[in-house]
Structure 1
């Protein structure tokens, strides 16, 4: 991208007629030659248009935008000059000069922005820096189009026939010199960045950077040849540098995909990878590597890595060498490096060119030492947990056989003792009742713990059958009659005789017993407990309503969501262990139902649960058959 309008404005000092430049107008001997040159310039314009179109298709990339705008200025320059060299009047030349100067002042700035993107210096691209860089191009554009008023850009523009055919004689002004100096300053800075990038790039990246360098420098090189007088011709050859430039840019785009990712950005991604990467050529020599590879492989460094045979480099790491020299590209292998004690996941991939021909191999080493150590710790923890579970099971078996049975006997004896002391004094009856209550609490604790243990261990057999709900309720009410009568609590059931559920008998009894026990526990003496059941679709909805103290406000949202409820003291001083509702929740859900409650502190609670109805279960069985 040449931003200096070298065709008529770049002759400096006395290199040409004391600072004068000439443009061909019209003559019979040269007209045909000018037509050929015009056609060549139109071809360059077409190449530039193709590049602009490709940039527009990838306009989501910042580098494609700046690159495309720079090429667009080139297209305007070559397009205008193609018509300028075949123009036959001074007015026509002035018109095509204005067309060319739509792009000429701004091309170098766009090219510089592209170079900043390309070399990874995006931090310098800010709105204020771009606006500042555009100041002189804007002054150049305005000065060129208003030159007839002030003559600061061109001091004069006249015709001359001294070469045997008409030429336009141009004498440059101070604003033109400012424009030329600014353009070449940016060009030399940008070229220095590209050269620096070229020497720092990996070998596989240098061709891409080289294409960018040649494509960028070609127009300026033609200009320098013209300015030095090395090629004596009245025609400025600078615009024809864009023909060479367009060819190199197109080759770079199609062969190296220049617009997909700037090589410096790609290099930064490669260097920042945590995985070690080795690039091998077809002879198994190292052609590239990143910083992580230097840390993973002893003896590998920036000064002595490229070109080394991988077999020699990995002599102390035989497992990695085996994979690198092998031809298995199918999967990944986990190995342990004996030299460093680290664990790696190694993957070997084949590299192909744009024609799908193999060009080398890529060896990727991922450090998985932390993962392996974590897996070993998890296995050890799992073993310890298994031992603890076995110990827990043994302890509960002890509870089941060595503690439950004596307490059950003691519970039965206390019930007999309570019946025998009905004729004793009130003080003695109170002592016996207190002893009986404590024994019952201990017995219920052991029973709840065993039921919970069996449910968590998976030791309970879930054998659902059709169960008459009324009989199940009456059976559990009888078990709690002694406690309810002691507190003067009325338990009434309004469940229809034909109400049936499809559930496991032991689980249903445990749910009913725990809900009734809680209702008795938290209902004041003289209170009432009401049980109801109604059909709700394929389920039976059961409710247990009491007139007790209700659920405290701070437990309403957590009572059925915690694994263990906080035990609370009943209205008669009864105490629990907090396992009852947990068991109810687990068994109801295991049966395919749900459990919830409504409660008003001080007025009572209603607990609801659903169980599949026996009729719906029978219909499902018939459908399955």
Structure 2
């Protein structure tokens, strides 16, 4: 302020009174806007805006009483009141602009405190000017215009204050102009109102300080009337006291879904916090960037942006650090006339739903496999039980024939029948126990077992079948040869391989079992002197889950599922199944099972070469 009008005389009172009324009107305008901001005090921008309007009312209110004051002391008092608005107004306006333009990251406690400290120091220097005269060198009264005026001779700290205030103004206007240029058409009007309204107090003061037009009084407070008109218009037309632009709305920010807004030219307008978490590199500097820049690391989203708006589609972002799934939906943003003014990309996290779907599909697959396994297992079990029962039937027939012939000693037949009954009972008990242990699916429960004893037990069960064809069953596996397997599965594997060997071996042939340890694995082989297989049969044997059963050398028939189950059981025990076969010379089937590292096995037999791997 340069000069202050001092009223002396009745004609001047009327003129001062008009100015007083206008300034009080400006004060009421500022206070009404403060009230509107208070009603929306839950929004950060409303707080800074409302405080700015409040301190501006100090400026206009103090100046209203200053121009009707009659003494220099009164003027000095009201000048102190005015400076509450003069020093704090630019700071609060600058904070409001940072929030409005999307630069909330700059509004940190440290920055706000620093700005307020500068304002407080300026106010303190102005209040104590009579002690140091660094703000005003002198304050004198003259009558050159025909009425009392106060001439202020400005000091160096006054210039510093003016430079600081207009530096904030230049930075703030630059941010709003940048925002205006990047904004969508429907946002430009409200931003323009903010720009024009902000020029009110700063523009009037700039004209007054420049001296371009001679004015005996300071018109800066009347700039608030000018600003008030534009701000009130913006409040009722565009609701500026909401978190404007839309990206700053509290609801928008708190959404769990990622929301990204573009204009029709695919330039980024706004986004929420969820979008910043999902899209790497998305920050305030991205505002105004093209969609291709924003989604440079997410080509799937870029493809979606180039398509017409459509229903949601499930995608997984090409980000190694993000293994989540999102439903992506592109929609138009329309104005009140239903005309498209932008695009909105909505990303909804559906990872939990996808995981549940995958789990259900996996459970369905496992259930289907278990159901198939059950059918195959029942057939194999029926086959295993049928053989000893068939032997019992044959023995009964022999017994009946000999009883009819009379008098012979039938002790041998009775003993054999008793042995077969015991074996069959043990087999059924073992199978039932194993089935009960598999209620949750096919589970291997390995234990340490003597392989030689298990082999001998299975050979005894097949003794009648092998004896009927005069086939020699030879085990070269020594005692104390230990393996770490599920015993029930191992029994089924051995019985199937031995049954097949007997089935395809001619009368008077032989079946030999061997075992060889290789590191932590025991390789068991079942060799026969049967008819062997051609190359075509060998190539397809273990590749088919449901092989066709072949007829044995004595017309034996099977169900054709034994080998596929053997392969599955070997796999569940951590091993492999493979074979060698030469047509007209015989076949050798191998399978491996684990051996505990600390287990010592004594093996016999020479090393064998592996054949075709399953």
Normalising by structure 2, report the TM-score: 0.50
In structure 1, C-alpha distance between the alignment counterparts of 2:378 and 2:333, rounded to whole Å? 61
Separation in 2, partners of 1:81, 1:70: 17
Q: Deviations over 1:7-42 (max 9, x none)?
A: xx2x4xxxxxxxxx2324344223223222222222
Give the one of 379, 395, 415 matched to 1:398: 379
What is the correspondence of 1:544-555 to structure 2 with a 5 Å cutoff?
none
Q: Deviations along 1:363-418, whole A, 9 cap, x unmatched?
A: 556799x99999999999788657534521321331454345667899999xxxxx
- 1:266-312 alpha-carbon deviations (Å, 9 max, x no partner): 5998xxx9788665xxxxxx4655499xx9xxxxxx9999xxxxxxx
Match of 2:32 in 1: 50
**Counterparts of 1:181 and 1:57, CA distance in 2:** 34
Q: Map 1:297-316 to 2 at 5 A.
A: none
Partner residue of 1:332? 311
Residue 255 of structure 1 and its aligned partner are, at CA, apart by 2.9
1:208/1:141 Cα in 2 relative to 1: closer, same or farther (>3 Å)?
same
- Distance in 1 of aligned mates of 2:389 and 2:439: 19
SS of the residue 1:102 aligns to: helix
Deviation sequence 1:467-491 (CA, Å, 0-9, x none)? xxxxxxxxxxxxxxxxxxxxxxxxx
SS at match of 1:165: coil
Q: How does 1:156-171 map onto structure 2 within 5 Å?
A: 156-171=138-153
Correspondences of 1:18-33 after superposition (within 5 Å): 21-33=3-15
Cα deviation code 1:487-543 (max 9, x no counterpart): xxxxxxxxxxxxxxxxxxxxxxxxxxxxxxxxxxxxxxxxxxxxxxxxxxxxxxxxx
Task: Tell me the residue number matched to 1:173.
Answer: 155
Asked if 1:351 is matched to 2:330, the reply is no
**SS of 2:5's equivalent?**
strand
CA distance in 1, matches of 2:40, 2:347: 36
- Aligned position for 2:132: 150
In structure 2, do the counterparts of structure 1 residues 110 and 276 end up closer, same or farther at CA, with 3 Å as the change threshold? closer
1:182 aligns with 2:167: no
Deviation per residue, 1:26-60 (Å, 9 max, x gap): 44223223222222222222222232233333434
Contact kept in structure 2, 1:154 and 1:173, CA below 8 Å: yes
Q: How many residues align?
A: 379
Cα RMSD of the aligned pairs, angstroms, is 5.1
**Residues 388 and 420 in structure 2, CA contact (< 8 A), matched pair in contact too:** no
Give the Cα separation in 2 of the matches to 1:152 and 1:319. 61
CA distance in 2, matches of 1:433, 1:145: 120
Per-residue CA deviation, residues 197-225 of structure 1 (Å, 9 max, x unaligned), is: 32233333322322222222211111222
Worse-matched range after superposition: 149-158 or 44-53: 149-158
Which residue of the partner structure matches residue 96 of structure 1?
78
Corresponding residue number in structure 2 for 1:501: none
Q: Secondary structure at the match of 1:22?
A: strand
Separation in 1, partners of 2:211, 2:304: 64
Over 3 Å counting, the alpha-carbon distance change for 1:173 and 1:455 in structure 2 is closer
Give 1:95 deviation, angstroms: 1.9
Report the CA distance between 1:362 and its aligned residue.
5.5
Residues 274, 373 of structure 1: alpha-carbon distance in 2 compared, 3 angstrom cutoff: same
* Residues 317-340 of structure 1, C-alpha deviations (whole Å, 9 max, x = no match): 99987x66xxxxxx936699xxxx
- Give, in whole Å, the separation in 2 of the partners of 1:386 and 1:351: 50
Q: Please state if 1:115 is matched with 2:97.
A: yes
Offset of residue 240 of structure 1: 0.5
Segments of 5+ residues of structure 1 without an aligned counterpart are 1-8, 12-20, 280-285, 296-301, 306-316, 325-330, 337-342, 414-430, 458-625
Q: Say if 1:98 and 1:131 are closer, same or farther in 2 by CA, change over 3 A.
A: same
Pairing partner for 1:445 from 415, 430, 434: 430
Deviation at 1:83, TM superposition (A): 1.7
Question: 1:238, 1:335 → 2: CA distance?
Answer: 58
95-104 vs 202-211, which deviates more? 202-211
CA contact (8 A) 2:122 2:161 kept: yes
Specify the SS of the correspondent of 1:103. helix
**Do residues 36 (structure 1) and 6 (structure 2) align?**
no
Question: Unpaired runs of 5+ in structure 2?
Answer: 271-278, 280-287, 292-302, 316-325, 395-415, 443-614
* d(CA) in 1 for partners of 2:55, 2:384: 96
Residues 333, 396 of structure 1: alpha-carbon distance in 2 compared, 3 angstrom cutoff = same
Q: CA deviation at 1:76?
A: 0.9
Pairs within 5 Å for 1:409-428: none
| Larger mean Cα displacement after TM superposition, 131-140 or 87-96 | 131-140
Contact 2:392 2:420 in 1 (8 A): no
Q: Secondary structure at the match of 2:84?
A: coil
Whole-angstrom CA distance in 2 between matches of 1:115 and 1:378: 51
User: What's the counterpart of residue 138 of structure 1?
Assistant: 120
1:110 CA displacement: 2.0
Deviation track 1:106-125 (CA, whole Å, cap 9, x = no partner) reads 22222222233333334444
Residues 84, 123 of structure 2: 8 Å contact kept: yes
Secondary structure of 2:161 counterpart: helix
* Residue 259 (str. 1) matches residue 241 (str. 2): yes
The 3-state SS of whatever aligns with 1:25 is: coil
Picking from 208, 217, 222, the partner of 1:235 is 217
CA contact (8 A) 1:48 1:72 kept: yes
Shift in CA distance, 60/376, structure 1 to aligned 2, threshold 3 Å: closer
- In structure 2, the partner of 1:496 is none
- d(CA) in 1 for partners of 2:73, 2:37: 35
Alignment CA distance shift 1:204-1:148 (3 Å): same
Q: 1:363 to 1:120 in 2, by over 3 A?
A: closer
Residue 52 of structure 2 is aligned to residue 73 of structure 1: no
Which of 190, 206, 209 in structure 2 is aligned with 1:224? 206
| Alpha-carbon distance between aligned partners in 1 of 2:161 and 2:344, rounded to the nearest angstrom | 51
